[in-house]
Structure formats: structure tokens, C-alpha cells
Structure 1
Amino acid sequence: MQYRKALAREQAMSRDGSGVSSDLEQAQAQYAAQVQQIAVNEAQIVQAEMSVQTANANLGYTRILAPMDGEVLGIVTREGQTIVSSQIAPTILVLADLDKVQVQTRISEADIQKIHPGQPLWFYVIADPQTRYEGELGYVQPAPQEALEEQNAGASAGNQQSSAIYYNGTFEVDNRQRLLKTSMTAQVFIRIAQVKDALRVPVAALGRSLGDERYLVVVQKENGSEERTIRIGINDRQYAQVLEGLQPGERVVIPQDAGSV
């Protein structure tokens, strides 16, 4: 502003003849120098702002923000270790929300047609077999896990499936009391049917199958035993519902090779 006013004054004096040409030239030179200096200063400001942005970005690389609320289950990367982020983000630590846990159960190929989301279930964990946890089946994987693993591994089409086929089912359970831990082993029971006041027999007592859910059983009598045909309904592989062929109170014989008589 000072040099602009000085230049304007010298230009006005030059026009009315009272000025000195050398003073005008000096004022013009000083003004031009200041204009150039302002341009240099502005460029330095832009460079400084870019440096600040770069420093903030570098500072951001030193801060690790969790993508969710949760508890730290394990620290994978140790202090002082160099982290290189390329196409795959490195794992720093394992974080989990333990208010709810997801339970995964394996469903055999023989049972998969009877299973669907929404079925009630209950389970026990090995660490506490007396406590019963209840839930509802949330999702059933449409393809067996083994087939997906083979696809990911690039298995050839000629490989034969030699092991039993299982489908994964998942469901969530409230865990605000933190009784359930990660990687626990659970025994899951899914209810596919239910009857009340049913007559039942141990599955081990069932003899030869006659088809149409009919089996031979040995019924104990006062003076011996007799073989009888019964028809069963629901079978949970421990007990079978008896629809016909037995009366309440009758005793059936369990073969010795099945456990006891």
C-alpha cells in the first residue's frame, strides 16, 4: 500500500511537471519489486499449507481408529514392528463386540432337509454342561463348507468327496453377562418337531426295520419275552415316539451290545 501511494504521487507530480523523473523511476521499481515479493510470499504460503496437509496425513498414518465398539481379543502387531499397507490392510489387533456372540453349528446332510431358519434351538457348552442356552436358527449355508473350501483352494473337478457333508448354520445369542467366550465348543439341539405326552422307547431298543417306520422290538413279559412290531413317529436318535404297538408301562429289551438289558 505504501509503495502504491508513492508511485501514484510521483505519477501525479510527473503529469503536472513538478516531479523528478528519477524519483518516478525509483517509485516504479520499488512498486514492481513489492508486487513480485507478494507473489513469492503467496507461493510460500501455498507451499506451507501443502506441507501442513502432508504432515497431517502422515500424522493420520500413526493413528489407528477402531471401526466399531468392542473388546480387544488379541494384539497381532507388536510395538516397533513396521506395518506396510499395500493391497491388503494389515491386521493390528482383533476386536469383537461380545454383547452378542454368533454360534456356528454343523448340520449333517441327512438332516438338512428338516432344518430352516427360525427354528427354536438350545445348546450347552463343554465348560458348563448344566446351563442351557436358547436361541433361534438364523441362517443356513446353502452349500457345504467343504465345497466352498475346495473352490477357494482351486481343487480340481476330479477330486472326490470322501468325508461326510455338513452345512453350516449360524445364530446369535445374548452375551451381556460374558458367560460365553470365543472358540467355545457347543452341543446344539434344533427342534424340528414337538409332541406332548408321547409314549417313547430308547432308539437302542429298536430292532430290524420293516419299512414305513415300523420296527421289531422285544417286549419283556412275566414269563419271558415276545417280539412285536411297533410304528414310530418322531425320532431324535435317543428316543423314538411310539405311535402303535406298545402300551404305557410295558418294558422293552435293549440288546446287550447296545449298552445294557
Structure 2
Amino acid sequence: MKLKTAGGKRLLGMALAVAVLAVGLGLWTSGTSRPDIIYLSDAARRSAVRHVVNATGEVKAAQLVTVGAQVSGQIVKIHVRVGQMVNKGELIAEINATTQQNQLETDKALLQSYQERLESKKVSRRIAERQYRREKALRAREAASQEDLESAETAWALARAEVAELEALVRQTELAVNTDMENLGYTRITAPLAGTVVSVPVEEGQTVNAAQSTPTIAQIADLGSMEICLEISEGDIPAVRPGMAVSYTILGEPDVSAHAVLTSIDPGLTTLSDGTYESSSSSSSGSASSSSSSSGTAVYYYGKALVDNGDARLRIGMTVQAVIVTAEKADALTVPLLAVEDGPEGKIVQVLADNGGTEARRVVTGLSDGVRMEIVDGLREGEKVVAGRVTREEMDARTELKGPGPGGPH
């Protein structure tokens, strides 16, 4: 860094006062002994540059299952606790099975009764059939009356109807017994997958009512694979695609960065994904406050990334700060972002000349990381550009506020 002024040592102290605005930038003057404007400059140089989207999010289990009770009754035993590993099919809880057991026994007895009555009616049907055929043969020889034949035919038809009715009752009761056996099995609640018990919101002795809603007995998650669920703003979503690299940190370890790949982006905004979305058309048409509230609400979309959690570093509900890399170049010609201005025909930079003056030059820009901007065309490597300006009065004022250095005034 060079100061082309008479009081070089004093201005060096002044430059430190504006270093917050231009760390690493050079100071360039207009070439006079006491310039009115001092330029903060930097050279166009090769560096890595990438465009990123910042997002916050939450850690969720990639697979989380809520285990509910399908029958009503009192919980007599809970076999698991939060944090316990379980295998698929392992017993989680038991509900008092007295009601279900009694219903099963009742329907079994009813089934047996229907089956016995059915066998009896089948015998009666065979007898009625033989009687009818006998009367029919006798009638053919005019040895029996027409009335006897019709009576036998009616008895046979009635016997067939009774058998059909009992066969239907047997089938119906068999279905009831099967349902009773299923309900009895539901009193023993088992794990639908292998994983970790993350929630047990019920206690032994508590009564659950499956008739009104499905009571939650436990929640089981596979914590070996987690999902980073990021909220991406509406303005950033056009630049984000599945497959992009994601780096993230958690609040407990802000200096430890981990990496993942964006696997999906929800097609609807976050409230739609969460099931709380209400479109403007579904709200009252006369509610002006409702529409204004909706228009003033920021819109976000969920972007999701699956990550391995074999080290158990991530826990459900953790907050993550993430950076999604949308584009990057490893060896781009860059200048400070502050050096790029809007011109009448596009982007321009002020290039420092050897005589201390500046030249406005049109450039073609590329990627920006918020600090440096890629220059695709219009500059050569090493050319110095103006990244900021400070007046002599501002420099003097900053120096007066700062006071003399440790060695006293100069």
C-alpha cells in the first residue's frame, strides 16, 4: 500500500481508520501533493468465486413412524423407553385385552352354534328332498294327492332356505371371529421398523380411546440417516436445483462444517408442505386484512438433503445454518464487488491510470459471492480498479477522532 502525499506517515494512520471499508485495498491519490480525493484500490486478480444461497433449517429423521393404538382400553404395560433401540416386531406396549378376549370367545361360541344348527338343517333338507321325490313318484302313479305333493315341495324349499340362511350366518360369524382375533392382536403393539424410540407420550394405566382418534403410543425413528430440511426464500428458489452441494453447521458446533447434496425441493411453499396452507380463494372475499397479511408474509420452500448420521452427531430438531452452492469457478478474474457500478450501457469499473486519474471502462460480469465479482471481459489481470473513495476532509476528521499514535503527534 502506497500513500502519494506529503505527510505519508500521518496518512498511514488515517488509512487504518478506513480499513473497515476496504481491508486489503490500496490507497491511490490523484497525483498532487495534497489531493482532495483518495482512492481505495485493488488489482484484478485470479481467485475462486462462487455464488451461494444462504438458508436456515431443521434436522429431521429421514424415517419417523408414529405407532398408534387401533383398539381402546387401558395400557397395562409399556416395554420401551425413550432412546431405546428396538427391532422390527419387538413388543412396545400392551393394552388390557379383556374386552377383546371376551368378544372373541362370544363370537367363537356363536359360530359353533350356527355350525351345529347348519348341520341339523342340512339333515332336514335331505329328508325334505327325499319326501318330495317320494310324493312326486306316488303322484305319478296317482297314489298320492296333489296337495301332499305341494306340501312336500314347500317343505323342501323351506329347508333349502334355512340352510342358505345359516350358511350366511356362519360366514358372517367367521368374519367376526377373524376381526376379533385381529383386535386381540392389536392389544399387543409392536414396532413396525427397527430404530430408536424418540417419543413415548403415554403412561401405564392410561386409557386410550381409538374410537375418537388414533392415540399415539410411541414414535420410532431411524437415526442412522437424517434429513436437513432447509427454508429457501422465494427470491432464491429459481437458482436452486436438486443435486447442488450444501455445506452446513449446527448451532452447537458453528466452526465444524459438514457437506451434503440437495436431494429435492418441495413444489409448494412451506405452509403447504406442513398442511397449514390456506389459499386466498378459500378465505373470505371481503377480508381486506387477510389478503394484505398474506401479501406481506415471506414465502419459503423446503429444500431437503439426506445425510449420513452414523456418528450420531445430529439430533432431531437441531437448527442448521446452510450454504447452497449454485455456481462456482476456481480460477476467475475478479475485482471487489464495490468496484462494479451500473453504467448507462451496462456494468462499469473505474480503472486507475498511471497519472493518478481514472478511466470508466465497460465490463462483462459473471459470478459474485457478495465480496468479489467475476469479470468475464473488459479487464486484464493486474489492472487496478477503484473500490471506494474518501475525501481529504474525511481523512482528516477520522484522524482527529482517532488522536495521535502511541509515539505522540508528528
User: In structure 2, what is the Cα distance between the partners aligned to 1:183 and 1:227?
Assistant: 54
Give the aligned partner of residue 71 of structure 1: 196
Among residues 306, 320, 324, which one is paired with 1:186 in the alignment? 320
User: In structure 1, what is the Cα distance between the partners aligned to 2:187 and 2:279?
Assistant: 34
Among residues 230, 241, 249, which one is paired with 1:116 in the alignment? 241
Among residues 189, 209, 217, which one is paired with 2:342 in the alignment? 209
Give the aligned partner of residue 61 of structure 2: none
Shift of 1:178: 0.5
User: In structure 1, what is the Cα distance between the partners aligned to 2:111 and 2:245?
Assistant: 67
Give the aligned partner of residue 21 of structure 2: none
Contact 1:228 1:245 in 2 (8 A): no
Among residues 196, 206, 230, which one is paired with 2:330 in the alignment? 196
Among residues 310, 320, 328, which one is paired with 1:176 in the alignment? 310
- TM-score, length-scaled by structure 1: 0.64
Alignment of 1:99-110 (within 5 A): 99-110=224-235
User: In structure 1, what is the Cα distance between the partners aligned to 2:389 and 2:205?
Assistant: 67
Letter in 1 for 2:342: S
User: In structure 1, what is the Cα distance between the partners aligned to 2:194 and 2:345?
Assistant: 55
Shift of 1:131: 2.3
Contact 1:140 1:170 in 2 (8 A): yes
**Residue 125 (1) aligns with residue 250 (2):** yes
Contact 2:339 2:387 in 1 (8 A): no
Contact 2:262 2:305 in 1 (8 A): yes
Number of aligned residue pairs: give it.
212
**Residue 239 (1) aligns with residue 372 (2):** yes
Shift of 1:112: 1.5
Larger mean CA deviation between 206-215 and 129-138 belongs to 206-215
Give structure 2 stretches of 5+ with no counterpart: 1-107, 114-173, 391-410
Contact 1:213 1:233 in 2 (8 A): no
User: In structure 2, what is the Cα distance between the partners aligned to 1:75 and 1:131?
Assistant: 32
Give the aligned partner of residue 298 of structure 2: 164
Larger mean CA deviation between 85-94 and 143-152 belongs to 143-152
User: In structure 1, what is the Cα distance between the partners aligned to 2:374 and 2:190?
Assistant: 57
Per-residue CA deviation, residues 69-107 of structure 1 (Å, 9 max, x unaligned), is: 111112211222211113642212222111100111112
User: In structure 2, what is the Cα distance between the partners aligned to 1:185 and 1:213?
Assistant: 41
Assess, with a 3 A threshold, how the Cα gap between structure 1 residues 56 and 231 changes in structure 2: closer, same or farther: same
- TM-score, length-scaled by structure 2: 0.43
Letter in 1 for 2:193: M
User: In structure 1, what is the Cα distance between the partners aligned to 2:344 and 2:235?
Assistant: 18
Shift of 1:151: 2.4
Give structure 1 stretches of 5+ with no counterpart: 1-41, 257-261
Contact 2:340 2:347 in 1 (8 A): no
User: In structure 2, what is the Cα distance between the partners aligned to 1:251 and 1:53?
Assistant: 84
Secondary structure, in 3 states, of the residue corresponding to 1:240? strand
Contact 1:101 1:173 in 2 (8 A): yes
Structure with bigger strand share is 2
Per-residue CA deviation, residues 180-213 of structure 1 (Å, 9 max, x unaligned), is: 111111122222212121233444x256433776
Per-residue CA deviation, residues 145-204 of structure 1 (Å, 9 max, x unaligned), is: 24563328954466232122211111100111101111111122222212121233444x
Contact 1:219 1:253 in 2 (8 A): no
Among residues 107, 112, 125, which one is paired with 1:46 in the alignment? 112
Letter in 2 for 1:138: T
User: In structure 2, what is the Cα distance between the partners aligned to 1:58 and 1:174?
Assistant: 38
Assess, with a 3 A threshold, how the Cα gap between structure 1 residues 164 and 54 changes in structure 2: closer, same or farther: closer
Among residues 136, 140, 145, which one is paired with 2:261 in the alignment? 136
User: In structure 1, what is the Cα distance between the partners aligned to 2:111 and 2:272?
Assistant: 61
